[in-house]
Amino acid sequence: MEANPINSHRLLVRLLFAMALLLPVVCLSAGGSTTELHPIVVIPGSGGNQLEARLTVDYKPSSLLCALAGPRQGARRGGWFRLWFNPSVLVPPFTRCFAERMTLYYHADLDDYRNAAGVETRVPHFGSTRSLLYLDPHLKHITEYMAPLVDSLERLGYVDGQNLFGAPYDFRYGLAADGRPCKIGTQYLRNLKELIEAASAGNGGKPVILLSHSLGGLFALQLLGRSSISWRRTYVKHLVALSAPWAGTVQEMLTFASGYTLGIPVVDPLLVRGEQRSSESNLWLLPSPKVFGERPLVVTANRSYSAQDMVEFLADIGFEEGVRPYRTRILPMVAEGLPEAGVPVTCVVGGGVETPERLVYGAGGFDVQPEVEYGDGDGTVNRVSLLALEKAQEEVKVIRLEGISHTAILKDKMALKEIVAEISNINSIFTKSLAF
């Protein structure tokens, strides 16, 4: 049978593309092995991994529907089920059940956050990238998260569980200033630190590359800043931060004031607003007063609010219970600026995408979605926040990708090429040092 020239051309293109992907491995692996690769620990962003829950006898549902709702009704029998992401959250009657199970509560006597009574949660597959690929493995096409990025790393020679590891976490919880109780967030930093040490030990003592997305970059930076210089130099080679909101986002002020549904029209933002306000990590992501300064970010008929007016803003939107934890736990952590990484950092950021810069509220108040004025950023994080680390520290390299959004950075072919090239470059520096 005569060969089809179109198919032959496509085959040639695929072969060349495969060779291009393999080239860094060949260059890095002079000894014919990928064991020279630095291990990678991947730290996802907010909402970027699966979260499971089970309900105990202490769970007090708000309705009969919530009492019965759960995968195959297993929730009410104490079985574990996927809390995030579950497509039932998009169905209005179940949105309320989802919100009450996701809600955190700040306990003033503990000065810390806890789950709702009767709701236990866990993060599956810590140490693996398995739970980072898709938010729901049964809905791969619509819940894809890090699958394209992990696939690109595997083409470079990385293998999950050998030199590639995932560090998922309960993204509702955050961190607090030194001296404040923070049970869940502090335990996560311990787990992350142990994973990094184990990854290094299992790969000939080579220091680890931390590869983070969004909020994961803040956790990585806090871990570095809270660790000794000797530990950092021993165990961490480089931090590659994708779309990191170093100084928070104006988008978070919209979330707290009016609720945010990612533009999904069937979900009432007011149904999820309370749950979103309860998130400790969301409080952490409010705009930093040091970086955003005195510029008006929220404007109403009566007054305007800058990042330096956050306490008044939280009170005026009707979230008085958020004032104390923000003032005592968050503000001291961000007011003095970002902690020193102590290792080389590469920030890969999107830009040129309309990003909320100012929120203007009319007569309807905060229960109505505002008019949004846009500025530069990646669609979620403002440019000034994406570049905050570059302005604050040395040894920071920034790779700007125009037209790439906050989440597209994990899927866009050009973005993935840049990320893989940077990972390859970090590894090649190590190889050259061995040669000399």
Q: Among all residues, which ones are annotated catalytic?
A: 214, 378, 406
With CA atoms as reference, report the closest residue to 279 among 213, 184, 369: 184
**8 Å CB contact between 423 and 241:** no
- What is the distance of C-alpha 102 from the center of its chain? 17
What are the contacts of 144-148 at 24+ separation with CB within 8 A?
Answer: 144/411, 145/44, 145/48, 145/49, 145/410, 146/42, 146/44, 146/48, 146/213, 146/410, 148/410, 148/411, 148/416
> Which pairing describes strands 208-213 and 236-242: parallel, antiparallel, or unpaired?
parallel
Is the Cα torsion angle 356, 360, 366, 370 positive or negative in sign?
A: negative
* Residues 349, 355, 359: CA angle, nearest 5 degrees: 145
In a 3-state reduction of DSSP, which class is residue 92?
A: helix
Run of H or E including 23? helix 5-28
Contact residues for 207 (Cβ-Cβ < 8 A; gap 6+): 38, 200, 233, 234, 235, 236, 237
Q: Write the DSSP string, 375-431.
A: ESBBSSSBHHHHTHHHHH-SSEEEEEEET--TTGGGT-HHHHHHHHHHHHHHHHHHH
